[in-house]
Amino acid sequence: MKIELEDFHEDIIGKAMRGLGIGKSEMAKRTGSERSEIEAILSGGVNESLICSMADELNLDRDKVLRSARKEWCPALIEIKGLKQFNLPFGGMLVNAYLIWDEVTRKAWMFDTGPDAGLINDFIEMKNLEIDSETPCHLWVIGKGDPTIYTKTIDSLGVSDRVTFYGSVENTSPWYQMADLFVLPTIYDPFSNSSLEAIACGCPVLTTSSNGASECVNPQNGLVVSSPELVCSKLSVDWIKSIDARNRSIISSSVNHLSLEEEIGAYLNIFDSHE
């Protein structure tokens, strides 16, 4: 099995900058370069001198970052029984997804299922495998607020290693795209923009009928339950188990009609009808 890399120098540097809170203009100032030159590096451009300067500012190993930029290294080929890697297209790149299984019980588990689990499901059927009912998961909590008020409950449930609070983030799109599911078990929300954002990014949504945005949720892109407690119901859990088979491009396109242009057109039609 050849392991195709997902991240190269632009991803490594970009993530380090975000983690340290260093913006493009600040990096340009530190390295004595132009902002446009920094943007070029973060878009995949190769300027070895500037890459070295940026690596130094970020406390990264410049030689390793350069090897990444030159695409000189990839993991050695390995063969492991009961492990299959899939390279799935996502935008202009390929992302890795993995399937492991027990040869005796034929139980299987999927990891990082990527934008479309169709190829994985075909392989599961061909190999006569069965996805195990207990799905490994991790909860990302994005947004402002003090997470310490939830810590006691999380600890008491023994899931502290499965919950991470990231606080506010500048750009939520990558998080929606990486997530398998967006969950908003709200008691009341006039209209959750985050639900619509998730769907637009191809991420299925599980929310309540108390969320005004539930009007935009349909069988193609999500599930609506009547109360927050039902997020944990058998209906919801069974539905969650099926989301890997959903085509994320179809989910995203399900809200294409909810554009600013369409909204303006709808208002104009209302005005015209009352003339």
Residue 54 belongs to a domain with what CATH number?
Answer: 1.10.260.40
Alpha carbons 65 and 190: distance in angstroms, whole number: 47
Do 217 and 245 belong to one domain? yes
Alpha carbons 59 and 111: distance in angstroms, whole number: 31
Instruction: Note whether residue 149 is domain-resident.
Output: no
Do 60 and 114 belong to one domain? no
Residue 185 belongs to a domain with what CATH number?
Answer: 3.40.50.2000
Of 69, 92, 115, the one marking the end of a domain is 69
Provide the pLDDT for residue 2. 63
Provide the pLDDT for residue 245. 66
Instruction: Note whether residue 156 is domain-resident.
Output: no
Do 180 and 234 belong to one domain? yes
Do 62 and 93 belong to one domain? no
Provide the pLDDT for residue 275. 61
**Adjacent-strand bridge partners of 141:** 165
Among candidates 17, 18, 16, 10, which has minimal Cα distance to 71? 10
Instruction: Note whether residue 188 is domain-resident.
Output: yes
Contacts of 144-153 with CB under 8 Å at 24 or more apart are 144/168
Q: Select the highest-mean-pLDDT range: 68-82, 99-113, 153-167, 193-207.
A: 193-207
Provide the pLDDT for residue 235. 87
Do 112 and 185 belong to one domain? no
In this predicted structure, which of 11-15, 87-91, 156-160, 258-262 has the lowest mean pLDDT? 87-91
Instruction: Note whether residue 62 is domain-resident.
Output: yes
Burial (CB count <10 Å: 0-12, 13-18, 19+), residue 105: exposed
Do 177 and 246 belong to one domain? yes
Q: How many domains does the chain fold into?
A: 3
pLDDT in tens, 151-186: 888 888 888 888 999 999 988 998 998 899 999 999
pLDDT in tens, 28-46: 999 999 999 999 999 999 9
Instruction: Note whether residue 138 is domain-resident.
Output: no
pLDDT in tens, 188-241: 999 999 999 999 999 999 999 999 999 999 988 999 999 999 998 888 888 887
Instruction: Note whether residue 154 is domain-resident.
Output: no
Which tokens belong to 133?
A: 């009912």
Mean pLDDT, residues 247-254: 89
Mean pLDDT over all residues of the chain? 87
Instruction: Note whether residue 145 is domain-resident.
Output: no
Alpha carbons 30 and 268: distance in angstroms, whole number: 51
- Quote the domain boundaries for residue 243: 171-253
Q: Select the highest-mean-pLDDT range: 87-101, 112-126, 205-219.
A: 205-219
Do 176 and 249 belong to one domain? yes
Instruction: Note whether residue 143 is domain-resident.
Output: no
